[in-house]
Structure 1
Amino acid sequence: GILFFLGQHYIDLYLVQNRKPLASNRRWLERKYRPQCNRLSNEQLERGICLIAEADGLIRRGNLSGKQALEQLVVRLLAETGK
């Protein structure tokens, strides 16, 4: 669901930031992602990817509901970016 798409977005941003190719069916997004990459450091993107994976694990193990994990993730992502 939402975590998958959010994770994919962060991975795409990370790839664009590091001048790595996106999947062939997603290359058209590179121009759109470039301004977003300029607002986040590599470290912030890496941390975001880890936080998303962590939230996914919490849901899969049944430690948190999807809603709780997503709320927690949003707060943590915002704290990471300082916005």
Structure 2
Amino acid sequence: MTSSAGKITVFSVHPAPAILLAIVGREPAVQLNLGGSVALQIRTMAGERYNVILPANADALACRDAAIEVVGQPAQSAV
């Protein structure tokens, strides 16, 4: 089984309701809800989408930064 971790193209942080609305009618995404109002969205070159819902913007940014440390800077990273 190959991992797509090294193929991340976008990290973005958004208010969770916007992310949830964006998912409707689009390709499915894996969602991990840790109880909050901010979502970290991760997209891979393979088209996979992951949403991590976190309690605060600082948590989402810390999660994003930790992921970037592991896989390196993606082609695009938005806040």
Range into which the TM-score falls when normalised by the shorter chain: 0.3 to 0.5
- The TM-score normalised by the length of structure 2 is 0.36
Looking at CA atoms only, which structure, 1 or 2, has the larger radius of gyration?
1
Q: Which is strand-richer, 1 or 2?
A: 2
Q: Which is helix-richer, 1 or 2?
A: 1
Report 1 or 2 for greater relative contact order, CA contacts < 8 Å, sequence distance ≥ 6.
2
